[in-house]
Structure 1
Amino acid sequence: MKKYLLILFLLPLALFGQTGTITLEKLKEIAIVDHKVMMPMRDGIRLATDIYRPKNAGKYPVILSKTPYNFNQWIDGKEMIRQYEAAYDAVKKGYVYIVQNERGRFFSEGVWDILGTPTTDGYDAFTWISSQEWSNKKIGTIGCSSTAEWQMAVASLDHPAHVALIPQGYGAGVGRIGNLYEQGNWFRGGAQQMLFTSWLYSVQNDRVRPTFPVDITQEELIRVSRNFDLAPESPKVDWGLALKHLPVQDIIKNVDGPIGVYEDMIRRKPNDPKWYQGGLFHDNMPFNKPSYWFVSWYDVASTPNIALFNLLRDKSKFPKAADNQYLVIAPTLHCSFKRATENTIVGERSVGDARLDYDAMTYSWFDYWLKSEENGIKSKMPRVQYYTMGSNKWQQSETWPPMEAKATTYYLSSAGKANTRNGNGSLVLSPPKTDQADVFVYDPMNPVPSFGGNVCCIGNAIQGGSFDQQTMELREDILVYSTPVLTEDVEISGFIESVLYVSSDAKDTDFTLKLIDVYPDGKAYNLDETIQRVRYREGYEKEVFMEKDQVYEVKLSALSTSNFFPKGHQIRIEISSSNFPRFERNLNTGGNNYDESKGVIAKNKVHHSSKYPSRIILPMIKIK
């Protein structure tokens, strides 16, 4: 498990840097290496920091990466190679490279709280760094996932030395954006995303973890770090089995995991005040920093990530920042940009040659903002560079969605039996006149299993990516709706909205939706997926429960993709009430869900007619 965590840490570092082998000794040939610098915060807490700077005297710009993961230099040498490679590359290019542990992690003092770490820690780090004699007072931040999540909220504090950002796979730092109440990837549509359960098992600090004395010196830390790094060796867990445990609040306890922030977070609702007290970025916060955003189609949070990018381009709200936001969307899994190859396989689907020169992109961005080099990057760089699967090519646009994408509505229709791919569900351009509702039984004890998808950090429970869903579509609790075989080539690029008219005999339930590309041979590859907890259909400030058999309009959280559908393919959606363990099961009781062990079987219906126009709105581009 420790090795697994190190890989998670090293992924962000691998996003830029060399591919060769750089040892600490080789790094010292060009760099002054200063390990275990205890950087002071305003409240006296000190954060453990490694600093790599050019040997030649002078003032240099700084690249800062802050992480909750272990970077003790005395862990297995192979595991540190990529940090040294990133530092070597940065120093060689005239930068100071700094890696810092978050408050309360490993050698850093204080109490750690994922998503709740004070934003002032980042501000204070900028102040300390910019006051050093080797600093030119310009700092850029970079990182993926947990090394990205802190960047947006800290940027809102507008420290003068914080000049530019490169957040990658940054959904864990996105709180509320419009009607998306993700709260750091904890929710989608009001349902818990279970990735944090497995992730926190291995990452959260136990309340009884060992610590070093508060007055320990840098020299002592370097010495004792050879033997102690405060990294727990967590027993391996079969998360495919462990996540089935009920109640949800006891999952980590049930596998003898650490007692920490999970037990508090699992009780929060989507609009709990605690989400607004920590390090998440929300749409009411200021933002004034140039940012280069990196998103993946098969990551856990592509929609909220892109929604944040769009928000920051609003000149009325962010006049100073709007023209300095750029976006790249790759066809990869979480933080796997540089794993793209000549034949990039995501899950089991080939999406072609998806490579980009991320090193060049990174340093061109930092050279422009941190060194004031007139390299023309703003005129050369596409505002939005995105990869279209199916046609397997990089494209560019000034906006997202692309301006040529036209919203095209397809309505759900059937003769009352859309269950399974052998049913009669269809997607049509006009709503059916009469309602022949499709009915399925949702049993929380037998949920639809997650198969592939847009995930991260969930151990062995789910393999992310695109997989053939044909076997899954034989389940009676999955409704399948497909277009006729396409007679023209079309591209879907943008946000996919959906509205369902539903009823149930339960007080509360969920509805899930999955977008599928169906090939002529029947293979059905998933593109994106979403969920909506019906109790939050009127917003996340209140819960409104269902009355038996009353029909309700439910707007699901948006999906996102860019996919080419050649003629001969079909566009398909799947609808059900579970996608487990990607999302927690709704036990249908109307209770808290997190503290319940027994569920209620729900008889759920999807209605479709002129009165109940259940539909999906696709951003379609006709190919000339």
Structure 2
Amino acid sequence: MKPETPDADVTIVFDATCTLSDGTVLRANVYAPRTDEKVPVLLLRHPYSKDNPFVMGYLDVFRVVRAGYIVVIQDVRGRFASDGEFAPTTQEQADGVEAVAWAAALAGSNGIVGTWGASYGAETQWSSALGRPAALKSMVTVNSPSHSHTRGFVMRGGAHELGSRLGWGHGAVGLESTRRHNPPGAEGFANALRAHAEVQDLFDDDKIFTTRPLRDLPTAEPMLTWVAESLGRDSTDPWRSINMTAGHYDDIDQAVFVVGGWYDVFLGSTLEQYRGVLEHTKRAGLPLPHLVIGPWSHTSQADRLGELAFGTFSSAFFPGADVGLTEQHLRWYDATLKGRTELLENVPPVRIFVMGENRWRIMNEFPPRAHELQRWYLGADGELALQPGHEASGSSYSYDPADPVPTRGGATLLPPPYQPGPFDQSPLYERSDVLSFTSAALDEDVTVIGDLEVTLFASSSAVDTDFVARLCDVYPDGRSMLIADGIIRASARENDGSLGSAGPRPSPIEPGTVYEYRIDLWATANTFLAGHRIRVDVTSSSNPRWDPNPNTGKTAYTSAERVAAEQTIFHDAAHPSRITLPIIGTPGTETGRAVPASDSTKNERQ
């Protein structure tokens, strides 16, 4: 195809063809600098249309091209301009390896390839890297889902990410997949659009989330049917490990720069991939990976999220710890693809935003070494204290899956009207099925950076049920802002999927028996300011984020049966239910140096 020429610096070739070994043709847009010099190629592969400018969002493609790179944006197999059938995730390793080799051989390429992209565009990078293509030397992955299917988006703690999965199957990939299952032309597209609108009506009135069994969801959208079927697979299903990076980090020899957000649904996976590469580089004597985590969600890297503003210098475009995200990409690629390693010599490998104090901190590794692991114990009368109670005690509530607790914010990727981020949980406290345990007002700032875990000693009248835990920052004015949350399905207590198919299968619990449950809240960086309070909420649902457990031992995919369950959380010396917080010392120590705040603390000192 004849190149388009929008200006004197950049040429664009639309629909450049990449023919795979099985004959399938993938198509891409190729942006190249007008130069006689051979330059590296930066490849993005995703299913959301190579012609969609919003997918490029966080990266200024033309600036990157003018800096001396060929940028390629390719539709993956079975999507938009590319041929074939779309098989999410499973197709991407083999296709990615061939696409990297094709990109390396493009006219004007020097044979060196780097990759970039967010979400599915990050997953395709990791999948390609697992195939070890010779030309691939460097990656920048943003909000990546592919450490494990059990670390968010697909499943978490043995529960299904109901809202995210259905929302993705419909809103992100549904219409195009339905169009391809209809005859070509205007009539076929009209049929697809009608089917899409029919399903959208179910989202608009929330019926999509209350349909039981889930296998009865409308079949007019093929991708939604595929997603619904995946909701019938448990956490140990071998399908969940296909093309996932867990256990394979010794196969990743590329230079890796990882970007994420504290309120991204893929935060758990993003951090696990960073840690996996970190340990591998230490063993192999390779340069350390870089990590940036901001107060961002899956779709927003602005300075405001949920019900909080974090200050101008919290955004990806004006980060107080560094240059903007496009400039960080360029610096990384210049160092790792063009040999200008001096550009990274004075750049701390880890830059994270600490909420509450609203400052960036820089460090060599994440998580930093904690000054102290504090255990805050749940107690009688809703207390949260540094010592467990001595007298036998417990707090009870009734969980009815027909009336689940609604989701308010968090690290989510849900369809409207459900939004991610820090939201005040106070409206939920009017419910009888939400327990809150709150500390006294803090005498001084308490900074928490690192992994979070809640340990619950609990019983249920059901043979299976869920327990949800939330960490909140309680402001002097009474707002209870969500910091992090997590879930455990009782039947997955011995293996939430992290042990894979070789670990224990889900098993029922004995009604009335006390079990110890560990709930992974992933990680955070937050300073609880003096005068604020620390709060832990406990309940058994967050709908539509996670599929409400029917308490029957059956799955919501196959059964419409639901029963209420009586839950008891025990909190005494024999049953020390608690949250474990990694407390970090003052900035300037090995735990992370703070970057000057500029205007970034103006919202929080209250």
1:114 aligns with one of 63, 88, 91: 88
TM-score (norm 1): 0.84
Aligned residue in 1 for 2:27: 48
Q: Which runs of 4+ in 1 moved over 4 A?
A: 79-85, 227-233, 254-260, 315-318
Aligned residue in 2 for 1:4: none
Aligned residue in 1 for 2:239: 274
1:251–1:620 distance in 2 versus 1, CA, 3 Å: farther
Aligned residue in 2 for 1:443: 400
* CA distance in 2: counterparts of 1:514 and 1:88, whole angstroms: 42
**SS of structure 1 residue aligned to 2:170:** helix
Aligned residue in 2 for 1:215: none
Contact 2:212 2:557 in 1 (8 A): yes
Tell me if 1:610 matches 2:573: yes
1:299 aligns with one of 253, 264, 274: 264
Tell me if 1:380 matches 2:346: yes
Amino acid at match of 2:27: A
Unmatched runs of 5 consecutive residues or more in structure 2: 498-503, 588-606
| CA distances 1:518-577 after superposition (whole Å, capped 9, x unpaired) | 011111110111100010111143112111110001111233111111111100010000
**SS of structure 2 residue aligned to 1:127:** helix
1:284–1:130 distance in 2 versus 1, CA, 3 Å: closer
Aligned residue in 2 for 1:155: 129
Amino acid at match of 1:329: I
Tell me if 1:583 matches 2:546: yes
Tell me if 1:142 matches 2:116: yes
Contact 2:118 2:141 in 1 (8 A): yes
1:43–1:522 distance in 2 versus 1, CA, 3 Å: same
Aligned residue in 2 for 1:347: 306
Contact 1:413 1:426 in 2 (8 A): yes
Aligned pairs for 1:586-601 (under 5 A) are: 586-601=549-564
Tell me if 1:60 matches 2:17: no
Aligned residue in 1 for 2:154: 186
1:117–1:251 distance in 2 versus 1, CA, 3 Å: farther
Query: What count of residue pairs does the alignment treat as equivalent?
Result: 560
1:39 aligns with one of 7, 13, 18: 18
Aligned residue in 1 for 2:601: none
* CA distance in 2: counterparts of 1:265 and 1:607, whole angstroms: 35
* CA distance in 2: counterparts of 1:80 and 1:462, whole angstroms: 21
* CA distance in 2: counterparts of 1:406 and 1:306, whole angstroms: 21
1:316–1:142 distance in 2 versus 1, CA, 3 Å: closer
**SS of structure 2 residue aligned to 1:618:** strand
| CA distances 1:499-519 after superposition (whole Å, capped 9, x unpaired) | 101101100000001110001
| CA distances 1:402-436 after superposition (whole Å, capped 9, x unpaired) | 2244211111111xxxxxxxxx2111112212221
Amino acid at match of 1:273: P
2:464 aligns with one of 508, 518, 526: 508
| CA distances 1:328-357 after superposition (whole Å, capped 9, x unpaired) | 0000121422xx2xxx22111122231321
Amino acid at match of 1:175: S
Aligned residue in 2 for 1:6: none
Amino acid at match of 2:99: A
Tell me if 1:175 matches 2:148: yes
1:230–1:623 distance in 2 versus 1, CA, 3 Å: farther
1:62–1:251 distance in 2 versus 1, CA, 3 Å: farther
**SS of structure 2 residue aligned to 1:261:** helix
Aligned residue in 2 for 1:533: 489
* CA distance in 2: counterparts of 1:534 and 1:143, whole angstroms: 36
Contact 1:469 1:523 in 2 (8 A): yes
Aligned residue in 2 for 1:99: 73
TM-score (norm 2): 0.87
Aligned alpha-carbon RMSD (Å): 2.7
* CA distance in 1: counterparts of 2:453 and 2:280, whole angstroms: 25
Tell me if 1:366 matches 2:322: no
Aligned residue in 2 for 1:197: 166
**SS of structure 1 residue aligned to 2:210:** coil
TM-superposed deviation, 1:308: 2.1
Aligned residue in 2 for 1:334: 298
1:477 aligns with one of 424, 430, 433: 433
Aligned residue in 1 for 2:97: 123
Aligned pairs for 1:5-24 (under 5 A) are: none
2:449 aligns with one of 474, 493, 515: 493
Amino acid at match of 2:296: T
Identity of matched residues, %: 28
Contact 1:39 1:47 in 2 (8 A): yes
Contact 1:106 1:229 in 2 (8 A): no
* CA distance in 2: counterparts of 1:36 and 1:114, whole angstroms: 22
1:410 aligns with one of 370, 376, 390: 376
Contact 2:282 2:288 in 1 (8 A): no
